[in-house]
Structure 1
Amino acid sequence: CFASKSSLILTNSSISLSARVNVGIVNGKQAKPHSRPYMVSIQLTKRHVCGGFLISDEFVMTAAHCWKGYPEILTVVVGAHDLRKSEISDRMIKSLNNGCVFELQLQEKVKLNNNVKWISLPKEGDANMTTINHTVCQHKWGSKYFEASQMICAHGDGGSCKGDSGGPLVCGNTAAGVTSFVSIKLCNSPEHPNVYTKISAYLPWIHQIIRNIK
């Protein structure tokens, strides 16, 4: 599995914008341009707030806390590799929050191409994959923060950091988790491993929303 850096991103409407991101994956390496075509940047007033990823041509998934405190309309940028360059953005028109994961419905469906594609979701019951034992992780974070039935804990040579919230934990070609939280003192700390929301725990809710829109 690997965590995708949140600064790879989306296009479809008519709003020009540029942004800078100065934080990101720890000990990661720059991805090959457009090798993660599902990645998006969620932005507020032309500034990157969180990462996210396309799960269809109309919906973006991210972490629920990415919406909190931002009553203004967020924009989603898709199909770009470098946020420091001007891109086109697409406004979301509807937000659907269940407390842990967050879906954004785009104003218009994106046009799929080599730079813009969605990523597959796990099948129901599939993603019982734990990089770090649930008991170990719960001991490190405490039951107040870590809920084993809804979260995945991971640690390795690299990991997520500030600004990466909302990006996917990818296993094979499937999004297994949504980057949720890390230690505020030290990114990718072995004492406080990265925590991801387990997508498989929310599949019925996700599929119901998509069905209701169609």
Structure 2
Amino acid sequence: MGRQSPFLLQIGVFILFFILQAATMRDRIIGGREAKPHSRPYMASIQFKGKNICGGALVNRIWVMSAAHCFDNLPESMQVVLGAHSVTAQEPSQQNFTVQASISHPNYNMETLENDIHLLKLNKAALVNDFVRKISLPKQGEDVTPRRKCIIAGWGDTTDFETHPKALMETNTEVVSRASCNSSWTGSISQHMVCATSPDNVKRGFCSGDSGAPLVCMNRAVGVVSFSSFRCANPRFPDVYTRVSEFISWMEDVMRSF
């Protein structure tokens, strides 16, 4: 029994190493870099008790776009922070809001993540300045072409142990065809989705802590972070985003009604 202990210890260390590696890959912008401070002034941090839960994008002075799955179990007492570079420290540029209305798409499906889009109405209008600006949106029905170069940014955790990045992170990604994406995701990718992955087979992409953040191509928010492989930034499974252009009419209707 005593002679088996070193072997069992080695197995335990190996398992622990594997778990830590998996955790590191699962919850952060993969292969990213720190964004230039306030170079993404449309970014919103959706928070609960001062902790970043999801990302979002300011689409006008009083509305933020995010992902519906962020709000499956999120209490109503959430806050929205605009103008942040760090979400772990107070910055003079930050603007803080409560939420007046929280609306998921009526056909959102939490199992398939179809129609995974959400709107938050802020309790007051944002002050637009060098640190806070809205993002442009595509036209209704407009599609983004494969190989289009894009940017994704977020404050997702760096490990499963709630280790937050010190500042906003970003990485490059490239749109892939829906047909190619469907071959990886066994037919689960609909016309309401858009896929992107690293153009050079390097691990780059988003993870769960970045949900709701915008996929920005040609300075427009064409996607909303929805889901990815368990092993994030896995080139075999492109990252999947909600296709914003499919929901422009719905968004306009909601923003007129509230």
User: TM-score, normalised to structure 2's length?
Assistant: 0.70
AA at the equivalent of 2:49: T
Q: Which residue of 2 aligns with 1:161?
A: 207
Which moved further from structure 2: 60-69 or 81-90? 81-90
How well do the aligned residues superpose, as a CA RMSD in angstroms? 1.6
In the alignment, structure 1 residue 210 sits paired with structure 2 residue 247:
no
Which moved further from structure 2: 130-139 or 31-40? 130-139
AA at the equivalent of 1:154: A
In the alignment, structure 1 residue 146 sits paired with structure 2 residue 162:
no
**How much identity, in percent, do the aligned residues show?**
39
In the alignment, structure 1 residue 83 sits paired with structure 2 residue 125:
no
Q: Which residue of 2 aligns with 1:6?
A: none
Query: 1:126, CA displacement in angstroms?
Result: 2.0
Distance in 2, Cα, partners of 1:136 & 1:23: 25
Query: 1:23, CA displacement in angstroms?
Result: 4.7
Q: Which residue of 2 aligns with 1:96?
A: 103
Q: Which residue of 1 aligns with 2:41?
A: 37
- Of the three residues 116, 120, 131, the one matched with 2:132 is 116
Distance in 1, Cα, partners of 2:87 & 2:222: 25
**Larger-Rg structure:** 2
- Contact 2:61 2:134 (C-alpha < 8 Å) held by counterparts: yes
Distance in 1, Cα, partners of 2:235 & 2:65: 27
Q: Which runs of 4+ in 1 moved over 4 A?
A: none
In structure 2, stretches of 5+ residues that fail to align are: 1-25, 109-115, 147-174
User: TM-score, normalised to structure 1's length?
Assistant: 0.83
| Larger proportion of helix | 2
Distance in 1, Cα, partners of 2:64 & 2:85: 17
In structure 1, stretches of 5+ residues that fail to align are: 1-21
Distance in 2, Cα, partners of 1:82 & 1:124: 33
In the alignment, structure 1 residue 176 sits paired with structure 2 residue 176:
no
| 1:103-160 CA-partner distances (Å, limit 9, x unpaired) | 00000011111000000100122234342121221121123x422x100111114211
Query: 1:72, CA displacement in angstroms?
Result: 3.2
SS at match of 1:80: coil
State the aligned residue count: 189
